[in-house]
Structure 1
C-alpha cells in the first residue's frame, strides 16, 4: 500500500470513527494507519474535550475502544487484517495547539519562550489577550501564546500522592494509556 493509500485509509477511518468518538463526548486527537508486516496498525488517539479538566479514565477509554472497533468492523474501511490501538496523548505530547494548553489547565507546565527563557508554572487559563491568546499562570503571569516555542506538561508524582482518588487515572493519563484490539 502506498503512503497515499494509507492516507486515504486514515481519512476513511477518521470519517467512520469521528461521529462515534463525538457521541461518546470525546475528542478525536489523531488517526494513523501504517503497515506492520502482513497487517495494518490503526492508531487512534482520544482526549477529553478542550473545556474538560482532568484525565480520560481507563473505563471511558475501554468503552470508546469497543465502540470504535465495532464501527470499523461495520464499515470495513481498513483492508485486510489490522490491529487497533486506542490511546490517550499522555503528558509526553508537546503542547502545540491552543486546545492542548486548555487541556493542560491546572497542570505544571514548562515553556520555552521565543527569547530563549524557560518558564515553569501552573497553567490556570488560556485567554484572549490583546492581539491573540495568552497563557495565564498561577502567579498571575501572562504569556502570549505566540511567544511560546516549546511547551510540555511536567509529571508531578507528589501531587498524585496527595490526591489518592485521582492518582490512578492521572497516572494513566501521564503515561498515555493504550488499548489494543485485533480486527
Structure 2
C-alpha cells in the first residue's frame, strides 16, 4: 500500500472560497515532503497587505477546511500560512497593482530585461518607469518579474 499523497489542486479548490470570505486571495498551495510530516504551505495576500491577525484567522480557516474535507488524509502534517512575500514572481494583474511604485526586474519573452518602477497597471499590462521613460508592457510579453529589495530608497 502506497503512502497517502495530498493533492494540492484539490486543496487549492477547497481553500479558495473560505479564504475569499475573509477578504484574502489564495496565492499558492505547496505540499513539500519534510521527513515523516509533510509541510503544507499556504500563501495568502490582499490589497494593502496581510497582517499577523489576518494570518491567524486564515490559519484557523485553513485548518478547519482541511479537517472537514480530510484533504491531508490521516497523516500528521505541518501547516504554514504565510503572506505572498516579495520573492514570488508577479503573475497576476493584482500583483502589479499591489506593488505600485515598487522597483521590479522583468525578464521579457524576447530575452531582454528591464528594471523599472511599477506605474499604472490594468488587466492586460503595466507601465514601468525605466530611468525616467515610461514603458508599457503587456503581461504576455513578460516571462518573469520580481520585486527588487531597496534598502535605502529615498521617498520622492
- TM-score normalised to structure 2 length: 0.77
Higher relative contact order (CA 8 A, sep 6+): 1
Is 1:143 matched with 2:137? yes
- Unaligned runs of 5+ residues in structure 1 are 163-183
Assess if the C-alpha contact under 8 Å between 1:127 and 1:136 holds in 2: no
Q: Which residue of 2 aligns with 1:109?
A: 104
- Unaligned runs of 5+ residues in structure 2 are none
Is 1:85 matched with 2:83? no
Q: Which residue of 2 aligns with 1:35?
A: 33
Give the Cα separation in 2 of the matches to 1:59 and 1:157: 26
Give 1:56 deviation, angstroms: 1.8
Q: CA-to-partner distance for each residue in 1:161-183, whole Å, 9 max, x for gaps? A: 96xxxxxxxxxxxxxxxxxxxxx
Q: Which residue of 1 aligns with 2:61?
A: 67
Give 1:21 deviation, angstroms: 0.5
Is 1:154 matched with 2:148? yes
Assess if the C-alpha contact under 8 Å between 1:39 and 1:82 holds in 2: yes
- Structure with more of its chain in helix, by fraction: 1
SS at match of 1:36: coil
SS at match of 2:17: helix
Superposition RMSD in Å: 2.6
Aligned residue-pair number: 150
Give the Cα separation in 1 of the matches to 2:19 and 2:90: 22
Give the Cα separation in 2 of the matches to 1:19 and 1:150: 28
